[in-house]
Amino acid sequence: MRAQQITDPVAYHGEGPVWSEQWGGLRWVDMLAGDILTLPGDAGDTVTRHHVGSVAAAVRPRRGGGAVIGVERGFALEEPDGSIATLSPVWASTGVRMNEGACDPDGRFYCGSMAYDQTPGAASLYRLDADGRVDVVLDGVTNSNGLDWSPDGSLAYYNDTPTGLVSVFDYDTESGLSGRRTFVRIPGGGQPDGLTVDADGGVWVAVVDQGVIHRYRPDGHLDEVIEVPATKTTACTFGGEHLDRLFITTSQEDVDTDADPLAGALFVAEVGVPGIPTRPFAG
């Protein structure tokens, strides 16, 4: 299967796509520009930008409207009118930034970090509760990346990119994430970036620098590969009226754009299976 281009190369470092009916379409981030991009509908419309800070790491809808956003050193809240309130920084170091996140079935927002120089073990995975409390739920991470939950919410899939592994945790409200173990190792020395889960429990993983998206069955068997006409595939999500279109972001970071001219464009694949509605932030 091959993905189709639906925008020009509009992002330097496109990441974190998410579909929400309350937005009327797709949002994703141009992470290092600090911008949230919006594509109304699911193709053919003008992409708009909203600058939220020096880094826009991840975005998810809020139950009451607006969005929760991972920014350089913590979190921000977008109100329904589009205004942004940045919360107090979670850490002081300017050498570490937020990178990717998602909401759990109980409406808590997780966002993980990475060092700008990718120092091994310098990063963590944080959780923002609806009341504003922030906890570290995983430390010793290098490049905290894709995160999503199984359809029934009992499992969470997670990537620390340099490990080459997709991990799986057990999940419940009281314990949070527990029992970490390996779900799959990306074949051929590949490294996982963003991920999403479909309604059948399949796990779709962007393999960075290989120009592909892998789908793994719940038993870990690789059963689908989507080719993307840009090498640095960063993340994917389900969207469209029936949540059956897989949107794929790409990046120009460290890419020779003369040789890879579609880097930074948004792509879509018709994959024949629906996704799960985006879980919103309860705060």
Q: Which of 255, 266, 238 is nearest to 21 (CA)?
A: 238
Segment 104-118, tens digit of pLDDT: 999 999 999 999 999
* Mean pLDDT estimate for the chain: 96
Backbone angles phi, psi at 161, to 5 degrees: -50, -50
The SS3 call for residue 48 is strand
Burial environment of residue 83 by CB neighbours within 10 A (0 to 12, 13 to 18, 19 or more): exposed
The pLDDT of residue 142 is: 97
Contacts of 283 (CB under 8 A, 6+ apart): 62, 68, 77, 107, 109, 128, 129, 130, 131, 132
Average pLDDT over residues 177-200: 97
Cα–Cα separations (whole angstroms), residue 280 to 90, 103, 180, 283: 21, 6, 24, 9
Condensed to tens digits (0 to 9), the pLDDT of residues 74-104 reads 999 999 999 999 999 999 999 999 999 999 9
pLDDT at 23: 87
Mean pLDDT calculated for residue range 129-149: 97
**Structure pTM?**
0.96
